[in-house]
Amino acid sequence: MSIGTQLRRAIGRIGDIVFPPVCLGCGELAGSHGGLCGSCWSRLRAIEAPVCDVLGTPLAYDAGKGVLSADAIANPPPFAKARSAVVYDDMARAMVHRLKYKDRTDLAKVMARWMMRAGGDVIGACDAIVPVPLHRRRLLTRRYNQAAELARALAPLAGLTYLPAALYRTRATRQQVGLGTQARADNVRGAFSVSAHGRSQITGRSVLLVDDVYTTGATVKSASRALLKAGADHVYVLTFARVAPGAS
């Protein structure tokens, strides 16, 4: 073993003593940095096949490739496909809350790796990555955009061009929490636009739109329409978590 390797390992052991690895879910001591303890891992529900080919919602049984859910057939979205890494239950909600409100931007790198695994089929179809933006007033209050943190971490993993300023909010909207399906859609209708420079960046390209949680899809549908209107070829959606059908 080289002296350099021995030195790096020694520094790593000292670092673990000063900053011991903790679980990203509960905050208790864990076996390694950037992971979950066994209890929290068992409570995180990954979304795996079979899923609706368009909406990415879990299906009860595998009916073959390209199967669509009833919702996708009845209400076709403006985006081409959507995928999510995990179900938005207690554990996923805790992680999103820490990223969003507790300055835990370090979680974005871990969450992005899970999104990378879940979104392989949509990532491969895209040229650029765009986060769902916050309105500038909310950004000043929160200081950072959790969707942008996820997109920034995901871009180098996916090999996509990161376009943080291509899409912006034209007006401040109410928070979606607590609103019904129609109220959510009304709240974000026409709330997004593409900047002049962003238009030149996305025209004729397939765009990966990134957000933290997919609930009813109102936000990403509105954002997708703005991107398509501005000249994007296709829009694909990737979120860390999604609310289970019927739970919104």
The rounded Cα 27 to chain-centroid distance in angstroms is: 22
Give the chain's domains with CATH numbers.
1-43 (no CATH), 78-242 (3.40.50)
Please give the average per-residue pLDDT across 150-173, as a whole number.
Answer: 92
Contact 33, 21 (CB under 8 A): yes
> Is pLDDT at 68 greater than 90 in this prediction?
yes
3-state DSSP call for residue 14?
A: helix
| CA–CA separation, 203 and 175 (whole Å) | 30
pTM of the model: 0.85
| CA–CA separation, 236 and 234 (whole Å) | 7
76-125: pLDDT as tens digits: 999 999 999 999 998 899 999 999 988 889 899 999 999 999 999 999 99
Task: Mention every residue, 6+ apart, whose C-beta is less than 8 A from residue 95.
Answer: 24, 25, 107, 111, 240
